[in-house]
Amino acid sequence: MPMPTVTFEGKGYVRQENETVLDCLLRNGIDVSYSCKSGVCQSCLLQAVSGELPKNAQIGLRDTHLARQYFLSCSCLPNNDLEVCRPDAAGLRAPGVVRRIDLLNASVARLRVHCPEPPAYRAGQFFSLIRPDGLVRSYSAASLPSDDDFIEFHVALVPGGRMSEWVHRDLKRGDALDLQGPAGNCFYVPGNPGQPILLAGTGTGLAPLYGILRDALAKGHSGPIHLCHGSVNSGGLYLDAELRRMMEANPQFHYSPCVLNGNGDDGIPQANIDAYALSCTGPLKGWKVYLCGHPDIVRTLQRKAFLAGANLQSIYADAFVSSADS
């Protein structure tokens, strides 16, 4: 039986076995947007012109997207011929303007983007940032929609990273930058204000955790909140002073940084975050857990949190994998 054909901009491409629509187009040299390739960031959205879409190609999309036959090309394995096109950018993107860029440490830039018509989002969700040339990368929001009139992102400088080097070296106040989203399930849900919360992450995984923390405190969460932030060395930690001030002002909040390499002279423990986070909390039965950072570390933390008693339904970690040339 012949493999289904993907028709894009008038030209047909035969899919290989177990090949997604996205991979088929990329294999044939088609320049389409994508980032995580795991069905989460939604930057690979395309629109079906004809043909039947498999249900898993539209998981997590808004009703308005479903009505327009948008789908996740990285998750789409059609059983039939499919004609697709690029989605209407105006229907997906929120135009933004850079309000401010400053360094939080030597390698992390804080980027604040103002959107005249801001998309509705929850602190901790992430957006795809879209350069004028179409390059797309996803970053979590550290801002609080109820308090901030901008959306804040923390961008780590990655050597050779097309987006991160551009943000650190070329982007300036007043420049245009489109946003697509939001996406992701890492956000605070009110309703159980006394439930203990663990927030654990590494590097710029702090961004969504910082947003979730601020949201929980703003909504009156009274149960203990433990935030554990890990880095290779103390220079990689950031917002340290701000988090310590928040801890002094909120007795239910506990901030615990750790580093892989250090001698302890600065008072920061040397430890792996997966072991250190659990040493700060003890058993996690009845806890809500939010995990962000490097995918391998997140997977380890998920497993250890579950073994420590956390219910799988109470462990939140978006399965986002960044592109190699971020």
Amino acid at residue number 312 = L
Structure tokens at 139: 């970053």
Domain range summary for the chain, segments of one domain joined by +: 5-87, 92-183, 197-316
Burial class (CB in 10 A: 0-12, 13-18, 19+), 114: middle
pLDDT at 321: 52
CATH hierarchy code of domain 5-87: 3.10.20.30
In angstroms, rounded to a whole number, what is the distance separating the alpha carbons of residues 165 and 111?
13
pLDDT at 326: 63
pLDDT at 33: 83
CATH hierarchy code of domain 92-183: 2.40.30.10
pLDDT at 318: 66
User: What DSSP string describes 169-188?
Assistant: HT--TT-B-EEEEEE-S-S-
| Helical spans, DSSP H, in the chain | 21-27, 63-67, 89-92, 162-169, 206-218, 240-249, 273-281, 295-307
Are the beta carbons of 116 and 149 closer than 8 angstroms?
no
Please, which residues have CB within 8 angstroms of residue 139's CB and are 6 or more apart in sequence? 111, 126, 127, 129, 153, 154, 155, 204, 207
In angstroms, rounded to a whole number, what is the distance separating the alpha carbons of residues 140 and 317?
12
pLDDT at 325: 55
Structure tokens at 249: 């002002």
Write out the chain's pLDDT in tens, 326 residues: 678 899 998 899 999 999 999 999 999 999 888 888 888 788 899 999 999 999 999 998 877 678 779 999 999 999 999 999 987 655 668 999 999 999 999 999 999 999 998 888 999 989 999 999 989 899 999 999 999 999 999 999 999 999 999 999 999 999 999 998 888 778 998 999 999 999 999 999 999 999 999 999 999 999 999 999 999 999 999 999 999 999 999 999 999 999 999 776 678 999 999 999 999 999 999 999 999 988 889 999 999 999 999 999 899 986 555 554 56
211-258 confidence digits (pLDDT tens)? 999 999 999 999 999 999 999 999 999 999 999 999 999 999 999 999
Does the domain at residues 197-316 carry the CATH identifier 3.40.50.300?
no
Structure tokens at 71: 């789908």
